[in-house]
Amino acid sequence: MTAEPKKPQRVPTLTEVIIDLPAAQSSAAAPSAPARVDAQVAPETLMAEALMQETRIVSKVIERLQPRIDVLFEHRLREALAPTVARVYAALADDVRKELARKIREAVEQAVNEEMGRHRGA
């Protein structure tokens, strides 16, 4: 009967570094493979690489969503500005109407004065 290998009490996670491997496990895994130095990579380097990858993903997502964002933004902007534009238009139209009425009144007054002058002189 072969003795079963000892099972570890807990399984290490991928982020943990395993330093003390039993000799049987390390030699059975890859006898000719050189010792891996992946576990010794600085956490800052891994974090920087993860951030760069996250930045790339965010850029791609934003690039794909940009047309939808533009349409939504334009729609919301129109909705938000519509009451203000209507008020400005109404005020401007009222001012123009008053100015036009004043100019017409002045023109009519001038024409009447000229006509009265002609009748007096005749």
Other residues' Cβ atoms within 10 Å of the Cβ of residue 34:
6
Other residues' Cβ atoms within 10 Å of the Cβ of residue 26:
14
In a domain, residue 97? The reply is yes
Return the closest-CA partner of residue 16 out of 48, 35, 43: 43
Return the closest-CA partner of residue 8 out of 29, 25, 28: 25
In a domain, residue 2? The reply is no
- Give residue 11's pLDDT band: very low, low, confident or very high (50, 70, 90): low
User: What per-residue confidence (pLDDT) applies to 79?
Assistant: 95
pTM to 2 decimals? Answer: 0.39
State both tokens at 85.
């534009």
Whether the per-residue pLDDT at 42 is higher than 80: the answer is no
In a domain, residue 89? The reply is yes
User: What per-residue confidence (pLDDT) applies to 119?
Assistant: 87
What residues make up the domain containing 56?
A: 42-121
